[in-house]
Structure 1
Amino acid sequence: MSKVLMKGNEAVGAAAIAAGCRYFFGYPITPQSEVPEYLSRELPKVGGVFVQAESEVAAINMVYGAAGAGGRVLTSSSSPGIALKQEGISYLAGAELPCVIVDMMRGGPGLGSIQPSQTDYFLATRGGGNGDYRLLVLAPSDVQELVDLIMLGFDLADEYRNPVMILGDGMIGQMMEPVEFKEDLKREIPEKPWATTGTKGQRKPNIINSLYLEAELLEEHNHHLQAKYEKMKQNEVRVETYNIEDADLVFAAYGTTARIVKTAIAKLEEEGYKVGLIRPISLFPYPYDSFKNINPNCKGILTVEMNAGQMLDDVKIAVEGKIPTHFYGRTGGMVPGPAEIADKAREILGGDR
C-alpha cells in the first residue's frame, strides 16, 4: 500500500476510521483541533456520527453512552480538556467500557500555553480521576507509529474492556510525515454481548454501571479490575531499546522527545561515547524489566522530558537505586534541543569515552 503525507492530527482521524471507529464526541482545543475538524468531514462519509459537544464534560459522557451501546468511539483533546474529562474517564474505567482517548499535550499547569509539552504523564499513568483505576497508555514518537497505535488502541480497548489513552503532544499533532495504513493491522470488531443494544426479547437487559452501594460488592469489583491490570502488565508492555547492554550512559525518553534524544545519541557516538536508549512505548504498563538489562557498570540514566520530571519517578522505581539517575527537562512548552541534551550527557560522563 502506498504512503500518504498527513498531519498527525488528521492521521488520528484517518486511523480511527480505518480501525472501525464510527463515533466521535469532542470539543476543539489547540493543538488538536484538526482531529475533530477532519472527522466532522470524514466520519459521515462512512456512516459515522460526529458530535461537537457543548463541553469536554459533555463529550466524555457521550463517549460513555456510545461505548456502552457497543460502538467503537473516539474522543480527543489537549491537557486542560483532558483534565475536564477525568470524572468521565473514571466512570468509563469503572464500568469497563472500551474507548480511545487522544491527548495532544500542551504546556501547563492551568491553561498554560498552546506549545508542545509532556506535562500529563502523571495524569495519564496514575489516573487523574477518583478510584484505583488504570488506563492503557501508549506514546507514539512519529506519525506512522501514531497511526499504528490508534488502530491497536481500539483492539486493546475491546480486548480488555478498558479505556486506552494515546499520549502525544503538539509536535506530533502538527507535524506532517508519510504514513501507511497497514492492512494487517485491521481486525474484526469482536462481539460485545455485554453491550446495551436492546434485548430484542431474547435475553435479560444488560446493565452497565460503576456504582456499588455495598462495600463488599465494590471491593469485589476492584479486585476484578486489579486482576485485569495485572494481565495488562504481563502482556502489553511495549518498548524500544538501543545499546543498553554496553552503554556508559542510558537515556530514558518517550514520544517526540525520544526522537530528539536519538539525534543527541548520534552526535555523542560520533565523539566516541557509549550511550544507549530506553524508549517506553507503553507508559502503562511501564517497561520496568527493560532496565534490568542495562550495563551494570553504567554511570547513570539520564531521563529527558518536556516537563519538570514525571516519568523520572518510574525510572527511579525501575532501577531500585542501583544506578544513579539524572534528569534534564524543559517546561512551559519549551522543547529541548539535541545540543543541550548532549551537553548534559557529557557533564554526567565527565569526558570519559
Structure 2
Amino acid sequence: MEKVLLKGNEIIGEAAIRSGCRLFFGYPITPSTEVVEYLSKHFPKHGGTVLQAEDEIGAINMCYGAATTGSRVMTASSGPGISLKQEGLSFSAAAELPMVIVNVNRCGPGLGGLGPAQSDYFQSVKGGGHGDYRLIVLAPSKAQELYDYTMEAFDLADKHRNPVLILTDGFLGQTMEPVVLKDRPKAPEIDRSWTVGGCKGREKRIVASYSLTNEIGEANNLRWEAKYKDIQEKEQRWEEFHTEDAEYLLVSYGTTGRICKSTVLNARKKGIKLGLIRPITLWPFPEKAFVPHKDRVKGIVTVELNTGQMIEDVKLAVECKMPVELYRRQGGMLPTEHEILDYLEDRFNLSAVEEV
C-alpha cells in the first residue's frame, strides 16, 4: 500500500492494472487521453497490451471480442467517442460480456468543449444504444474513488456478466490528487464456463446476441430483465451527508457532489438544516436512499452540469411528494457552494438565521 500523487485519468489506469486488466482498446480523445497514455507506458511491464484502434467503433468491437474469452478488458473515451460505441455496447450487454468503459464526460452536444459536464447522464443510465439493456454506472467524486470504483467495476462486471461504465468528467480526470494505492483484495472465483471455445480438444461454445426466433428473443429479454432487477435490488449505492435531521436535501454526484458538501456545511452555519444524498451508482439509481426522507423533507434541489437529467430519477424516487428543483451550470462551468445555497434559499423562500 502506497500513497502517490497522480492525475485522475492516470489513477484509473493504475487501478485497471492492479485489477488484473491486461487488454485496452481505445482511441484518444480529450479529456480522457491520459488513460491510454498511462496504460501504454505501464501495461507492457505487466504483460498487458494497448491497441489504438482505427476509431471508437473498432475499439468497442475489439473489447467485445476480447471479453468473449473471459479476459478483463477496458476502453476509455469521452462523449463523442462514447456515442460511437453505443451499438457495440448494446451488443456487449446482450451477449452478457463483462467489460469496463470509462467516460470522461466533456460538455456537448456535438464537439462541445473540453470542460467538465454531466450531460451524458441519459446516455449512460437509460441505454444510449438500441434495445432493452442496462449498463451498471458508477460515479466517483474524488481521486480515491476513481481508484476504488475502477477496481470494483471489474468485479461487478464479472459478477453480473454485464458491462460497467465509470462516469467521470474533465475536472476529475485532469486534477492531480493524492491517492492510496491499496492492494486488490482477492477476487471471488468467477465462472468462466460460458467463454468461447471450439479449438481442438475443447467444447464448442459460441457467444452471440442474435435471437433466431421471436420465442427465443422474448425468453432472452425476460432473462435479462430478471438480471437487471436483481442488480437493482443488490447494487444500489450512495453516500449521505448530514441527512439525519435535514429539512431540505441536495442531490448531486461526481464533481458537483463534492462541491455540495461545502454548501451543506455553509447552510448549517446559517441555521438551515440541509443534507446531501450523493448517488454512487447512477444505475441502478439509489431509490432506497430516499425512502426515510420522502415523507418529511420539505424540498430537494438537484445540482447538475446539464439542463436537468438526473432530476427525473429523483422525482420518481420521491414519488413527487415534495418539490424537486434544479440548479444547473453548463458548457464546462462549475457552480460554487455559495451559488447553490443562494438558489436554495431563493426557491424555498428561506429566511436563514445565524446560529448562536
TM bracket (short chain):
over 0.9
Runs of 4 or more consecutive aligned structure 1 residues displaced over 4 Å after TM superposition = 197-200
1:192-341 alignment, distance < 5 Å: 192-203=192-203, 205-294=204-293, 296-341=295-340
Deviation readout 1:88-133 (Å, 9 max, x if unpaired): 0000001000000000000001111111100010000000000000
Q: CA 1:200–1:155 in 2, change beyond 3 Å: closer, same or farther?
A: farther
Residue 124 of structure 1 aligns to a residue in which SS?
Answer: helix
Letter in 2 for 1:82: I
> Contact 2:294/2:321 (CA < 8 Å) preserved in 1?
no
Q: What is aligned with 2:59?
A: 59
Q: CA 1:297–1:227 in 2, change beyond 3 Å: closer, same or farther?
A: closer
Q: CA 1:228–1:262 in 2, change beyond 3 Å: closer, same or farther?
A: same
Please state how far the C-alpha of 1:2 moved relative to its aligned partner: 2.4
Cα distance in structure 1, aligned partners of 2:343 and 2:270: 15
> Contact 1:252/1:303 (CA < 8 Å) preserved in 2?
yes
> Contact 1:105/1:169 (CA < 8 Å) preserved in 2?
yes
Q: What is aligned with 2:163?
A: 163
Q: CA 1:295–1:202 in 2, change beyond 3 Å: closer, same or farther?
A: closer
Residue 76 of structure 2 aligns to a residue in which SS?
Answer: strand
> Contact 2:294/2:322 (CA < 8 Å) preserved in 1?
no
Please state how far the C-alpha of 1:83 moved relative to its aligned partner: 0.4
Q: What is aligned with 2:6?
A: 6
Cα distance in structure 2, aligned partners of 1:82 and 1:219: 28
Please state how far the C-alpha of 1:44 moved relative to its aligned partner: 1.2
Cα distance in structure 2, aligned partners of 1:41 and 1:185: 25
Letter in 2 for 1:294: H
Please state how far the C-alpha of 1:200 moved relative to its aligned partner: 4.2
Q: What is aligned with 2:181?
A: 181
Is residue 66 of structure 2 the alignment partner of residue 75 of structure 1? no
Deviation readout 1:52-74 (Å, 9 max, x if unpaired): 00100000000001001111000
Structure 2 spans left out of the alignment, 5+ residues: none
Q: CA 1:132–1:295 in 2, change beyond 3 Å: closer, same or farther?
A: closer
Q: CA 1:352–1:294 in 2, change beyond 3 Å: closer, same or farther?
A: farther
- TM-score norm. by structure 2 comes to 0.96
Q: What is aligned with 1:111?
A: 111
Residue 351 of structure 1 aligns to a residue in which SS?
Answer: coil
Letter in 2 for 1:42: H
Cα distance in structure 1, aligned partners of 2:284 and 2:294: 23
Please state how far the C-alpha of 1:188 moved relative to its aligned partner: 5.4
Please state how far the C-alpha of 1:199 moved relative to its aligned partner: 4.2
Cα distance in structure 2, aligned partners of 1:141 and 1:235: 22
Letter in 2 for 1:150: T
Deviation readout 1:246-278 (Å, 9 max, x if unpaired): 212100000111011111111111111100011
Cα distance in structure 1, aligned partners of 2:24 and 2:34: 13
Q: What is aligned with 2:342?
A: 343
Letter in 2 for 1:114: L
Residue 177 of structure 1 aligns to a residue in which SS?
Answer: strand
> Contact 1:245/1:293 (CA < 8 Å) preserved in 2?
no
Deviation readout 1:195-253 (Å, 9 max, x if unpaired): 125444142x1101011131110110011111110110111111101232421210000
Q: What is aligned with 2:153?
A: 153
Q: What is aligned with 1:48?
A: 48
Cα distance in structure 2, aligned partners of 1:177 and 1:76: 20
> Contact 1:306/1:335 (CA < 8 Å) preserved in 2?
yes
Q: What is aligned with 2:24?
A: 24
Please state how far the C-alpha of 1:186 moved relative to its aligned partner: 4.5
Residue 3 of structure 1 aligns to a residue in which SS?
Answer: strand
Moved more, 290-299 or 218-227: 290-299
Cα RMSD for the two superposed structures: 1.3
Letter in 2 for 1:28: P
> Contact 1:244/1:295 (CA < 8 Å) preserved in 2?
no
> Contact 1:151/1:185 (CA < 8 Å) preserved in 2?
no
Q: What is aligned with 2:128?
A: 128
Cα distance in structure 2, aligned partners of 1:218 and 1:88: 19
Structure 1 spans left out of the alignment, 5+ residues: none
Q: CA 1:202–1:87 in 2, change beyond 3 Å: closer, same or farther?
A: closer
Cα distance in structure 2, aligned partners of 1:184 and 1:116: 29
- TM-score norm. by structure 1 comes to 0.97
Cα distance in structure 1, aligned partners of 2:293 and 2:227: 29
Residue 140 of structure 1 aligns to a residue in which SS?
Answer: coil
Cα distance in structure 1, aligned partners of 2:174 and 2:189: 30
Letter in 2 for 1:324: P
Moved more, 126-135 or 36-45: 36-45
Identity %: 52
> Contact 1:32/1:173 (CA < 8 Å) preserved in 2?
yes
Cα distance in structure 2, aligned partners of 1:138 and 1:261: 18
Residue 183 of structure 1 aligns to a residue in which SS?
Answer: coil
